[in-house]
Amino acid sequence: MARTPPPGPVPAEWWERLAARLIEALVFGVFYYILFIALWGIFRTVGMLEMFGGRLPGVFSWSAAGAAYAGYDWWAHSRYGRTFGKAIMRIRLEPRRLPARALLKRATVYPAPLMLMGIPVVNLAAGMLLFGLGLLILIDKPLERGPHDRLAGTRAVKDLR
């Protein structure tokens, strides 16, 4: 039996949240590739490219891009209540004003595991964690909150302004 959502803002649909993350992933993906190419050139020039089986530029690039994305997620939500992907999809976090500490917890659970995606073997666990977070959003009816939302006391809602 499905629960009825509480009165107030309408929860964002799962596909709206996914589209917002994909929009942001495109931008941070470009950042990752630019950083990867630059680091590959630097490591090749100084003779370190073959260290760790040539994986060093990827590890550094994923770590930097993942940290930048987690930092951006925290900053944008604490300042504006949404990221640029959420703004494009016309969704936001509720409640609008949250302590920075709560949003830091949210950003640590998701998307911080992206920092681990460049490390061989660990990237499998990080990918499964992110996939699991997405599944938990799908099965949490009617609010569609993930563990990162529950930890911070937030929910994604439609911004009907």
- Nearest residue to 65 (alpha-carbon basis) of 18, 29, 19: 29
Tens digit of each residue's pLDDT (9 = 90 or more) over 135-151: 998 898 888 888 999 99
Whole-model pTM: value is 0.84
The enclosing H or E element of 78 equals helix 56-80
Question: pLDDT value at position 83?
Answer: 95
Question: pLDDT value at position 92?
Answer: 94
Low-confidence ranges of the chain (pLDDT < 70): 1-7
Domain spans of the chain? 63-158
